[in-house]
Amino acid sequence: MASVKVYVPRDSSALSLGADRTAKAIQAEADKRGIEIQLIRNGSRGLFWLEPFVEVTTSQGRVAFAPVQPNDVPGLFDADFLNNGSHPLNLGLTEEISWLKQQQRLTFARAGITDPVCLDDYIAHDGYKGLKNALKMTAAEIVEAVADSGLRGRGGAAFPTGIKWKTVLDTPGEQKYIVCNADEGDSGTYSDRMIMEDDPFVLIEGMTIAGIAVGANQGYIYLRSEYPHALKTLNEAIAKAEQAGYLGDDICGSGHAFHLEVRRAAGAYICGEETSLLESLEGKRGQVRFKPPLPAIEGLFGKPTVVNNVISLATIPIILDKGAQYYADYGMGRSRGTLPIQLAGNIKQTGLVELAFGATLRELLYDFGGGSATGRPIKAVQVGGPLGAFLPESQFDTPLDYEEFSKIWAVLGHGGIVAFDDTVDMSKMARYAFEFCAIESCGKCTPCRIGSTRGAEVIDRIIANKDNAREHSRQIQLVRDLSDTMINGSLCALGGMTPYPVLSAINHFGEDFGIGSAKKAAA
Amino acid sequence: MVADLTTHEKLDLVSRIDAHIAKHQHRPGALLPILHAIQDDIGWVPEACYLPISKALALSVAEVHGVVTFYHHFHTHPVGKHVLQICRAESCQAMGSEKLEANVKAVLGIDYHETTQDGAVTLLPVYCLGNCACSPNVMLGDEVYGRMTADKVNEIVAEVRAT
C-alpha cells in the first residue's frame, strides 16, 4: 500500500500557532509506530481559526483534522486518522466544509491544496496555463484581456489594471519594469502574504505575463521586512522557475526575457505608496513623489513602470487562462471579479474568504466570522486598513463594492476587515489613527507631517474637555477643520485618508467623544 | 559600542562591511541591500559604515545617514541578542494588545526601544505582522507567535534566553 499523504501547512499563521511542532509530532509518532507517511508542508487553506489544519488523503478526497496540537497526535493515530478514523477533531472532507465551500476561490484557487514550492504541483493544478495563452497573443491583446476582465488594483486604490498596463505599453522605452508592491502594511490584511507563502508561482506567472504584455524584462517584488517566511518561499520558487525556463532570457522558448528579484523593504509603512516604494527601491528615503509624472511613464529609475499589488498580479494568470469574461462574470456594478477578504481582529472564525463583490459586511462578520471572538456584540468594524473608516452596526448591510463603500464615505482598500467588540473606546482609536500617521509620515508635506501630531493633541483636548461644552465643541470643530486641510492638502493617501478613521469615529460613535453628554451639559 | 572594540575586532568589522559593500554595490538601487546585509551580519548599522558606503555609491555621508534613519527596520545602535516586537496595530488592539504590551514591559522591566540589562532582549513596537487572523501577535527574531498572552510571551522569551 502506498504511504498516506499528510498535509501540515507551512504558512506563517499556521507556524505562529505551532504547525512545525505538530508536523514533527506526527512524523515522530508515525516513525514510532512503524507507519510510513508522506508529510507534505502545504500552504494554508486560510481557515486560520482552525490552524494547525492537518489533512490526510483518503479514497474520497482530503479529510481535515483541526486544530491539531502535538498532544492530540497519539490520540489521532489511535483513532486511525490516516484512514479517516472517527475523532473529535475530524471535520470530514475539506472541500465539504461550508466555510470553504461557500467561497469563490479564483485568485486563491490553489492555496492550501499544493506544496507552494513544488513547480510540478503548480502545473498539475492549472499553473502556467495563463502564460501559455499569453505567449500566443500580441501584447495589445493581453492588455485588452486584462482591461476587459474589469480587474481593478487590489492594493486599495482600485485603479483599472488594464489602463495602467496600456499606458506602459504605449510609452516608448528600451527599459521598462514590473514592480510588485508587496509592502502589505495595513492592519487586518494578510492576503498578499498568503499568496507569496502559499502559492508563490501564481505571482511569478502574473508578473511574467505583465512583463510580456508591456515589454518589460525586469521585475522586482518589494517585500516588507516583516515577512521573512515569504522571502524564503519566493526565492525558492523563483529559483525553480528559473531552472525550468519560466524565468530568464528565453521564457518557454518564446524569445521573451523576464528576470525577477525580491527586494526587502525596511519597515516604513509609507513605502506601500507606489512612488515612495519606487524611491525606496532606488535606494533612497521613501519619500512620496509629486505626480505627474505617473510611474507608468516615469517610474523606477525614470523608466516606464507597472506598479501593481500582489493580488492584482496573482489574479492575471486565471484571467489569461479562463478568459476575461469568465472573471468579469463575477461581481457587481463596476467591481468585477472576486475580492479576497481577510477577517481579522475580534472575530471568532478568522481567515481568508474570497468572494465575488457584492456580499454584505454582515454576511462576512456573522455567517463566515461567527460573530466576535469574545462573544460580546460587535460595536465597530474598520475596513481597508488604518486609513479606512470605522463602520457602525447600522452600516453592516453595505455590500462590498468599491462604489457602494464610497457612497458611505468608506473604502474597501485591500479587503481587510477588523472587528471590535463593545469594549472599544473609539476616541482612543481616533487618537491612534493620528498617532500612527505621525509615526509613519514621510515628512514631505505639511498637512501630514504636522497635522498628524496636532490631531492627536486635539483629540486629547476633546477628551479632557468633555465637561466644558464650549471648549469641547470648539475642539470638535478644530479637528474637522484640520481633517479638511489634511484631506485636501496632503500629497498622498496617508495624510489624505487619516481623517477617514478619525471623522467616522466621531460621526458614528460621538458618545465616546462626549458629544452627546457635552450637549446635555450645555442645555 | 564600536569604541569598545579591540583593534583586531575593529579591523574584522571593517573588512566584513567592505565585503558586503563590494558584493552589492553594483546592483541597481544598492543602498538598501547593502544596509540589510550589514544588519543581518552584525545586528545593527554602525555609523562607521556610512563613509565607505557613500564612497562606493557616490553619495554623501548625509544621504546615507538620511536613508538609515528613515527606516524603522535599521538599528542605529546595538540591540540585544534577541529582538522582541509587539504588534500595536488595530487588529491586535481589538484582541487586547494594550494589556499585553503593559504586561510584557513589566515582566522584562524595560520600555520600547530598550534592552534588558543582561543584553538578551530588545523590545520594539511594530505595526502589523500580517498575522491579523491570530491576534494579538509578537515576533521574536524571525518567528511570529499568534494569540499571545503575557504568560506565553514569557515562555518563549525564557526559551530563547536559555539557548
Q: How large is the ipTM?
A: 0.96
> Does the CB of A422 have a partner CB in chain B at under 8 Å?
no
Chain A residues touching B144 at Cβ < 8 A: 12-13, 15-16
Q: Report if pTM > 0.95.
A: yes
Q: Which residues contact A371 (CB under 8 A, 6 or more apart)?
A: A347, A348, A365, A378
Rounded to a whole number, what is the distance in Å from the CA of A322 to chain B's nearest CA? 30
Size of interface A-B (CB pairs under 8 A): 149
From B6, B15, B75, B16, select the one nearest B46 (Cα to Cα): B75
Rounded to a whole number, what is the distance in Å from the CA of A196 to chain B's nearest CA? 12
Chain A residues touching B137 at Cβ < 8 A: 16
Beta carbons of B22 and B33 less than 8 angstroms apart: no
b/e string for A436-458 if b means 16 or more Cβ within 10 A? bbbebbbebbebbbbbbebbbeb
What pLDDT, in 10s, does the model give residues B58-109?
Answer: 999 999 999 999 999 999 999 999 999 999 999 999 999 999 999 999 999 9
Rounded to a whole number, what is the distance in Å from the CA of A365 to chain B's nearest CA? 13
Q: Which residues contact A407 (CB under 8 A, 6 or more apart)?
A: none
What does the pLDDT read at residue A520?
Answer: 47
Identify which of A373, A382, A440 has the shortest CB distance to residue B90: A382
Q: Residue ranges of chain A with pLDDT lower than 70? A: 1-2, 517-523
Chain B residues touching A386 at Cβ < 8 A: 89-90, 127
Could you tell me the three cell numbers for A219? 521585475
Instruction: Place B160 in a pLDDT band, splitting at 50, 70 and 90.
Output: confident
The rounded distance, in Å, linking the Cα atoms of A487 and A498 is 8
Across the interface, do B35 and A351 touch by the CB < 8 Å criterion?
A: no
What does the pLDDT read at residue B3?
Answer: 59
Interface of B with A (CB under 8 A): 28-33, 35-36, 57, 63, 66-67, 70-74, 89-95, 126-135, 137, 139, 142-147
Across the interface, do A263 and B29 touch by the CB < 8 Å criterion?
A: yes
The rounded distance, in Å, linking the Cα atoms of A224 and A179 is 14
> Does the CB of A123 have a partner CB in chain B at under 8 Å?
no
Nearest residue of B to residue A424, measured between CA atoms = B94
From A293, A90, A127, select the one nearest A201 (Cα to Cα): A127
Mutate to test the interface with A, among B128, B140, B147, B148 (most CBs of A within 10 A): B128
What does the pLDDT read at residue A517?
Answer: 65
Chain A residues touching B20 at Cβ < 8 A: none
Angle at A97 between CA A59 and CA A378, to 5 degrees: 165
SS3 call for A205: helix
Find the Cα–Cα–Cα–Cα dihedral A37, A59, A15, A339, rounded to 10°: 160
Identify which of A17, A188, A265 has the shortest CB distance to residue B91: A188
Across the interface, do A51 and B134 touch by the CB < 8 Å criterion?
A: yes
What pLDDT, in 10s, does the model give residues A369-404?
Answer: 999 999 999 999 999 999 999 999 999 999 999 999
Could you tell me the three cell numbers for A450? 504636522
